[in-house]
A and B are shown apart, each in its own frame.
Chain A
């Protein structure tokens, strides 16, 4: 009987040790849920604000300063972003942005914030519609495609 008992105690020891190591190591999760006031503070400090809803939802109303990157496009767009910069994501209720934040954190982004309750709980200003082109752009009756690049 001593053999099986030793084995059980041994196993229990290994499991306890594994739990202790998991607790002691820094958590890989870098995502943090935030509220409206924190969003404004982070945005004022230069955080990038990303609305992961569809363009249609974005046009109906979005938080001023947000850029619209639908969640299905995030995987291809975020690859070129600086992983050390602060990023705030939001959607309608916080569900899609939660997924987006998890994805970004897994991709190595170290400062990811999720507006927990989404824009439905947003009590600040809202911008409606797509931003009109500035007067500096004069169209000649045709649509325009602009490619901003960097020569450096």
Chain B
């Protein structure tokens, strides 16, 4: 998934902040629990005010991700 996400990060540069987090890292456990992450990859889409817009679990196509990125406010 990394090449797809990296490509989208370039595409949405300046519009959406991209973060890649290791779900097994101790530092990310708070977020893993907060978003109920049980499987990787899990993609979380947050609006500018911090509310969750959407969440996808499992492999996703660039089109699936783009659709949700475009819906972010």
Contacts and interface: CB of A to CB of B under 8 A. Distances in A.
Task: Answer whether A and B are interacting partners.
Answer: yes
Interface of A: 48, 55, 65, 67-69, 73, 76-82, 130-134, 136-152
Contacts, number: 141
Nearest to B14: A142
Given A133-B51, A144-B19, A150-B40, 18 more contacts: A48-B38, A77-B58, A79-B59, A131-B35, A132-B51, A133-B46, A134-B34, A138-B50, A139-B46, A139-B49, A143-B16, A144-B16, A145-B12, A145-B16, A145-B65, A146-B46, A148-B40, A149-B20
Nearest to A67: B36
B10 interface: no
A85 to B, nearest CB: 9
Band of interface residues on B:
35 or more
B34 A136 contact: yes
A146 B56 CA distance: 10
B44 interface: yes
A140 to B, nearest CB: 7
A76 B21 contact: no
